[in-house]
Amino acid sequence: MKDIFIRRARLPSIIMGTLLFFVCPFFLWKGSVLAKSPCSECHSEQVEALMKGPHRGVVAEGASFCEACHGDAARHLESNEAQDIRGGAALSKTPLDARDKMCLNCHASDFQHEELSPHSGKVSCWDCHRDAALHFEVETHRTKTAKDHTTWRLCTECHKTVSAQFRLQYRHPVEEGIMDCTDCHDIHGKGGGEDAMRAACIKCHPEQRGPYLFEHPPAAKGCTTCHRPHGSWNRTLLASNGNGMCLTCHLQSNFPGVGRIPHNFKLNAGARCWDCHSQVHGSNTTPDFNPRGRR
């Protein structure tokens, strides 16, 4: 398996080949939107916009998708009267939680642990996805350019201190449009707490995955104990430039004079703990995470 798929030199070829496989018919084929929904006879703009988006399939099945929000359309289809359907004006007055239920008719299983999310009950589906995303825009969910961040722009409307952290010298490249908030965060509240956050980090940093024979408990639990993933003043996104972060757990009153090897010689000119204890994510050979000590 490994030999076939993940040889470094072959990966670009796999990606290119797969892209060409998909892209070739894309250039050769021509078509037009065909909305099957009975609503499209009068509301073609809305329905055709929907057909370009992720709800294309369910829209094509008939009026049921529209009815999820606008209510039973049977009378309206017969009468063509506006009062026989829940239109845009009526929807805008509907409480947000009631509007969310319309989405949850089909998407409830996406929110199994939604109540654990800080967004629970406070942020509505419509706060981020909005009417425009459903009716008039093709939702890409990806950052388009550094100046036009789709998700980034939405999140920082409320999370302004996070936006400020992404200005710092060391940060994940979200502001550059290379990453997006949703690359790490399951905004819909999948749950899992520290374990879920660590899983998000491991996606791009599998070198620190473990398990190790000698685990460093905070690293095994969650990366954010020591790292500031949004942005940091310090290299490798560490919370601290010095040893305060380590001493938060490893404090001793007469430090650094005690221990199997006295540390007062080691540190009195300002070395960091991790200069020697470099395997802080875990080690298979040294319980003190100091591979230099074995040399």
Scanning residues 26 to 65, which ones bind other proteins (CB under 8 A)?
Answer: 26-27, 29-34, 48, 51-54, 56-58, 60-61, 64-65
Smallest gap from Cβ 130 to other proteins, in A, equals 15
DSSP string across 40-60: GGT-HHHHHHHHTSTTHHHHH
Candidate list 84, 127, 186, 215; residue touching other proteins; CB under 8 A: 215
Within residues 90-109, the interface with other proteins by CB under 8 A covers: 97, 104-109
Compute how many residues bind other proteins; rule: CB under 8 A: 135
Q: Which is nearer to other proteins, 6 or 90 (CB)?
A: 6
Smallest gap from Cβ 239 to other proteins, in A, equals 6
Q: Which is nearer to other proteins, 84 or 233 (CB)?
A: 233
Give the burial class of 256: count Cβ atoms within 10 A of its Cβ; 0-12 exposed, 13-18 middle, 19 or more buried.
middle
Q: How many CA atoms lie within 13 A of 99 on its CB side?
A: 19
Applying CB under 8 A, which part among 71-79, 85-93, 125-133, 285-293 lies near other proteins? 285-293
Smallest gap from Cβ 73 to other proteins, in A, equals 16
Task: Please measure the distance between the N-terminal and C-terminal CA atoms of the chain and give it in whole angstroms.
Answer: 36
Contact predicate 40/32, CB 8 Å:
no
Asked if 295 is part of the footprint of other proteins (rule: CB under 8 A), the reply reads yes
Within residues 146-185, the interface with other proteins by CB under 8 A covers: 147, 156-161, 163-165, 167-170, 173, 176-178
> What are the distances in angstroms from CA 256 to CA 89, 247, 252, 260, 269?
69, 11, 8, 11, 12
Applying CB under 8 A, which part among 69-77, 83-91, 124-132, 205-213 lies near other proteins? 205-213
Within residues 107-136, the interface with other proteins by CB under 8 A covers: 107-110, 112-113, 115-116, 120-122
3-state secondary structure of 240: coil
Beta strands 282-283 and 214-215, pairing class? antiparallel
Cα 156 from Cα 163, distance rounded (Å): 6
Contact predicate 286/293, CB 8 Å:
yes
Candidate list 23, 42, 90, 132; residue touching other proteins; CB under 8 A: 23
Candidate list 143, 197, 237, 281; residue touching other proteins; CB under 8 A: 143
Contact predicate 163/175, CB 8 Å:
no
Angle 269-271-276 from CA coordinates, rounded to 5°: 140
Within residues 66-85, the interface with other proteins by CB under 8 A covers: none
Q: Which is nearer to other proteins, 77 or 182 (CB)?
A: 182
Contact predicate 97/124, CB 8 Å:
yes
Smallest gap from Cβ 131 to other proteins, in A, equals 17
